[in-house]
Chain A
């Protein structure tokens, strides 16, 4: 790399603590596509990478906007680089899930290798999980337990949960779910209400 090159014009990444959560809206579709089309992001998700803007619009309309509890994870410019959601398991248990982009959106859709900036490993998911965990226990008095099921190979997400303070329960849930046609072992994490 030529050291005299001008600085890349990508967004300067703010430290953790500088994210905010808000509902997703349909006009988030282009930012949504940054992560939804990425096969590496989709690897541990139940969905296949998105292949068109029409598909993205349909998915956001049918599944994202209708979700009972889903928040866009936004940086300072209020544009999302992922989302986080809560699913009810039963009266006292909720499950947390999230997805974040590996890299920022680039205006031309092309990211030169020299300008590549990673989003993963910067603490955005950690901060989002931390915020949501606090909100769940504050806003939902009946919830005793927030849990997360993570693929045994998804070490990144396991680290996120551990950093927030989730407890890794037990060794492994063997043959726990079918993900894209394969039977997977999962790790169960939980965070209990502090009395």
Chain B
């Protein structure tokens, strides 16, 4: 079950209708055999797969954004948010098709916030757990200045709380009336992972 997509800005002012092709070598991060998912940069070629999860109201329930209704809006999102993002990866199965995405967004110089979203067809298979674990294993090496990876999960989003606990994030507490989600003020559970923590 998905957690909120972090810092999503749909009201992007810049418009770009050009296809930006990622010419870099796709850097695949492989998971343990049982889950068979890998992470790679997301591109505009992923637009149709993106629309599968981004239009699903079950997926967006705990996200700060409403389901997408047009392919143009999806393309704009990939151009304006995904491609410039400092650290965002598509979550892919063996066929390299994206079934979701995971990102680490800087909060300040030492803190990053993890967020992910996965198509509902792929829930219940441990995919989110594996994706979060992969990020937990790699992110502190890639970003040595990061001292804290945190996650904010809606109190009702029990599925994502379990994902983070399974990976080894520490549940720090419930931050009451912490965030406005779609017009409602929500209590959020704060989790953190430090470079010194052991993953489970």
A192 interface residue (CB < 8 Å to B): yes
> Is the C-beta of A172 less than 8 angstroms from some C-beta in chain B?
yes
Smallest CB separation, A92 vs chain B (Å)? 6
List the one stretch of A35-43, A116-124, A174-182 in contact with chain B.
A174-182
Q: Is A171 an interface residue when CB atoms closer than 8 A count as contact?
A: yes
User: Is B24 engaged at the interface, CB distance under 8 Å to the other chain?
Assistant: no
Which residues of chain A have C-beta atoms less than 8 A from B175's C-beta?
169-170, 188, 190
The number of inter-chain residue pairs (CB within 8 angstroms) is: 58
Sort chain B's interface into a size bin: 20 to 34
* Residues in B neighbouring A173, C-beta threshold 8 A: 172, 190, 192
Q: Is the CB of A170 within 8 A of B172?
A: yes
Of all chain B residues, the one with the shortest Cβ separation from A168 is B173
Is there a chain A Cβ closer than 8 Å to B110's Cβ?
Answer: yes
Q: Are B173 and A171 in contact (CB under 8 A)?
A: yes
User: For residue B172, which residue of chain A has the nearest CB?
Assistant: A170
When chains A and B are docked, how far (Å) is the Cα of A169 from the Cα of B177? 12
Are A176 and B111 in touch, CB under 8 angstroms? yes
B130 CB to nearest chain A CB (Å): 24
Shortest distance in angstroms between B134's beta carbon and chain A's nearest beta carbon?
21
CB-CB under 8 A for A170 and B190, given A144-B185, A176-B148, A188-B175: yes
CA distance A175 to B111 in the complex (A): 8
